[in-house]
Amino acid sequence: MLNRTSIQRIEEILQYVNDFGETEACKKFSINIETLHRYMRDKKFSDTRNPQVILLDVETTPIETYVWHTYKQWIPHTSIIEPSFLLSWTAKQLFSAEVMSDVLTPAEALEKNDNRIVKSAWKVLESANVIIGHNVRKFDLRYLNTRFLMNNLKPPVISDNRHTRSSKEKLSIPSNKLDYLGTLIRNKGKLKTDFELWVNCLHGDLQALKTCKSTTRKTSCS
């Protein structure tokens, strides 16, 4: 818990950041960037007694590459035709019935332009204190931070994140796949999909894009 003195100092530093930027703030207050970001997280978490806990899931497009074979291939970056981009996202506040989501339009999918939904995802994460999702720490947040960077957005400051794959660390069950966890705990597995869905999304198929959006809604909201 931050005391009043700590809050006042952090507010002073963060106001300086707003006026002059992170680099100048670090120089003036003799702190490093990691400390500054910790102050930002602390202040954000202390601003509310009911922190915004968000459940999150994203769907992405596959990387398009040239390959010579299909077995045990090391693929150099020079073989990449098109990198992956964000296809859809879904989020909801913990214990809330309201679901937030976004998906590419057919035109955006054909143009490989995820700028609009990257920005809408950024707004949701920027309002959150804690993010929860399956493998969210190693995949979803890293992926989104990459797309934020590619779309000229700073990664949002998040106080904490929790991923359901911690079941592997805490429990001994036959499988840690989300489909099995959902079936075991709530008798609801993942929606069945195949790779053709993602191909159709890349081709701007409206029904495929709607199905992809439904997939993220089911995963993050179950």
- 91 and 196 assigned to the same domain: yes
Q: CATH number, domain at 201?
A: 3.30.420.10
What is the per-residue pLDDT across 80-89, written as a single tens digit (0 to 9) for each? Answer: 999 999 999 9
What is the pLDDT, as a whole number, of residue 10? 84
What is the per-residue pLDDT across 166-185, written as a single tens digit (0 to 9) for each? Answer: 556 666 677 777 777 777 76
Portion of the chain with pLDDT greater than 90, in percent: 43
Per the model's pLDDT, the better-predicted residue between 11 and 1 turns out to be: 11
- 91 and 35 assigned to the same domain: no
The count of domains in the chain is 2
CA dihedral 134, 57, 74, 177 (to 10 degrees): 30
- 185 and 128 assigned to the same domain: yes
Print the domain residue range for 198: 52-221
- 105 and 16 assigned to the same domain: no
Q: What residue type is 169 in one-letter code?
A: E
What is the pLDDT, as a whole number, of residue 1? 47
What is the per-residue pLDDT across 76-125, written as a single tens digit (0 to 9) for each? Answer: 999 999 999 999 999 998 888 889 999 999 999 999 999 999 999 999 99
Joined tokens for residue 122: 């950024």
Best mean pLDDT range from 5-9, 30-34, 78-82: 78-82
Alpha-carbon span 118 to 89, nearest angstrom? 9
pTM: 0.69
Q: For residue 216, count other CB atoms closer than 10 A to its CB.
A: 23
Give the pairing of strands 86-93 and 100-103: antiparallel
179-208 in b/e form (b: 16+ CB < 10 A) is eebbeeeeeebbbeeeeebbebbbebbeeb
